[in-house]
A and B are shown apart, each in its own frame.
Chain A
Amino acid sequence: MTTRDRARRIGRAGMAVTLLGLAGLAGVYVRALAYTPVERSQGAAQKIFYVHVPAAWSALVAISVTGLLSILYLWLKDRRIDLAAAASAEVGVAFATIMLTTGPIWGKPIWGTWWTWDARLTSTLFLFLLFVGYLVLRGVLTDPGIRGRFSAVIGIMGLVLVPFIHLTVYLFRTLHPAPIVLKPSAPSLPGVMLVTLFSSLGVFTVLYVGFMMQRYALGLLRELREEELAGAAG
């Protein structure tokens, strides 16, 4: 089987996984909206939690994968690792976007403002900007070797940066507390809500994997085609 065939297979399998994930998402939506009780203090708006938190989780997974694969790439120099790292970055942008859009929609009825500079939202915002910078850098670098190495540097530094940003905002917040302290942390949730949350986390993980497989396949196929074109021209 050629590399190209293998890439196509991964792409198709990825699409299957993604569709599975989307189906699961529909199930979670039904469960969250119809079968999960409304939370007392925040009301219906709290239900965004079941989408907002898993999206943030997926974005965090994405940067971790990009960062770890970046380290691996600098060590092993296998271009497939670079392609996977880049795939994770793009997928991360999608999930970060979800987190950043659902956050304000959740926030407005509860805090009275669209944006609060709380630790999680702010960290995700800069994570988003980091991803975008990473992808833009890849866009302007044409040589695959240089592109891989430079992206890896950003990937590693980005991974180390995220906890620092979180800490910065946390420190800021302990001195300037947010109007209402958000309390939907997992342990204090009743069972039925926990199940919804974990189902959603599972679905979002499946979606992450499906997207990753497809984006990786796309990157590999593109590079193969470029090589082919370069070979034909040269």
Chain B
Amino acid sequence: MVAAYTVAATILVIYTVSLFVRLRAVGKRGQDSRLDG
């Protein structure tokens, strides 16, 4: 049962890290553009 809690937390943390890493990656290469929303 603790295994399940660990699995769940691990998946959530992995996903959080994945989002963080991907946001950083897209942020680095993009420059401020004159595109207006």
Interface residues of chain A, those whose CB is within 8 Å of chain B, are: 2-6, 8, 11, 14-15, 18-19, 22, 25, 29, 32-33, 44-45, 47-48, 51-52, 55, 91, 94, 97-98, 101-102, 105-106, 109, 207, 211, 214-215, 217-218, 221-222, 224-225, 227-228
Pair B35/A225 contact, Cβ less than 8 Å: no
Pair B13/A2 contact, Cβ less than 8 Å: no
Residues of A within 8 Å of B32, CB to CB, are 2, 4-5
Pair A214/B35 contact, Cβ less than 8 Å: no
Residues of A within 8 Å of B36, CB to CB, are 2-3
| Main DSSP-derived SS at the B contact region | helix
Interface residues of chain B, those whose CB is within 8 Å of chain A, are: 1-5, 7-9, 11-13, 15-16, 19-20, 22-23, 26-27, 29-37
Pair A45/B15 contact, Cβ less than 8 Å: no
Given A3-B36, A47-B1, A105-B3, are A221 and B12 also a contact pair (CB < 8 Å)? Answer: no
Pair A97/B11 contact, Cβ less than 8 Å: yes
CB-defined A-B contacts under 8 Å, sample of 8: A2-B37, A4-B32, A29-B9, A51-B8, A94-B11, A224-B33, A225-B26, A225-B30
Given A215-B19, A221-B30, are A102 and B35 also a contact pair (CB < 8 Å)? Answer: no
Pair B35/A4 contact, Cβ less than 8 Å: yes
**Which partner residue on chain B sits nearest A225 by CB separation?**
B30
Residues of A within 8 Å of B20, CB to CB, are 15, 214
- B18–chain A nearest beta-carbon distance, Å: 9
Pair A228/B33 contact, Cβ less than 8 Å: yes
Pair B19/A225 contact, Cβ less than 8 Å: no
Pair A11/B8 contact, Cβ less than 8 Å: no
Residues of B within 8 Å of A222, CB to CB, are 26
Residues of A within 8 Å of B5, CB to CB, are 29, 32-33, 47-48, 51
Given A94-B11, A97-B11, A217-B23, are A48 and B35 also a contact pair (CB < 8 Å)? Answer: no
Most chain B CB neighbours (cut-off 10 Å) among A4, A45, A222, A224: A4
